[in-house]
Amino acid sequence: MHQPKQVLVVPYAIYERELYLYLLKRKDIDYWQWVAGGVEENEVILSAAIRESSEELSIMFKTSDFIKLESVCSIPRCHFNSDKAWGDDFYTVTEYSFAVRLSMNCKLNLSDEHNEINRIKYLQLSKYQTWDSNRMAAC
């Protein structure tokens, strides 16, 4: 069972003083996104960010790899396969954002949730259809 909380992780790399972002293409809808996922019952938010990043990118991470971002948002419940335990009077899921630095030559293997990954320069982000919260976390 998930808590009514979500994590968003922005994978990035810096190469020759240029910021690169790693976007994942979802299989089920025509959207690009960062690493994202729910917080399990009895799981702390940072642990969820580490777990989701490891699952979706097939890289082992440690706590010190992550930077907590100021971006926090509320996402309408209708965008989730809501747990019945949340109750009928629960309307939004809080999303907490992090960043994690990757090396430019790291080998990424996508989970079954995604079918493509792109490494882009920060200035190219506006060309991609993403969730509003993903754009805000990258600012």
Task: Identify the three-state secondary structure at position 41.
Answer: coil
Please give the chain's pLDDT, 139 residues, in tens. Answer: 778 899 999 999 999 999 999 999 988 888 888 999 999 999 999 999 999 999 999 999 989 999 999 988 888 877 777 656 677 777 888 999 999 999 888 888 888 888 999 999 988 888 876 777 776 777 6
For every residue of 20-33, DSSP letters joined together read: EEEEEEESSSS-EE
**d(Cα 58, Cα 10) in Å, to the nearest integer?**
15
Which pTM was predicted?
A: 0.87
- Ordered by start, the domain boundaries in the chain are 2-128
Looking at CATH, the fold of the domain delimited by 2-128 is given as: Nucleoside Triphosphate Pyrophosphohydrolase (3.90.79)
**d(Cα 137, Cα 117) in Å, to the nearest integer?**
18
Report residue 66 as tokens: 């992550």
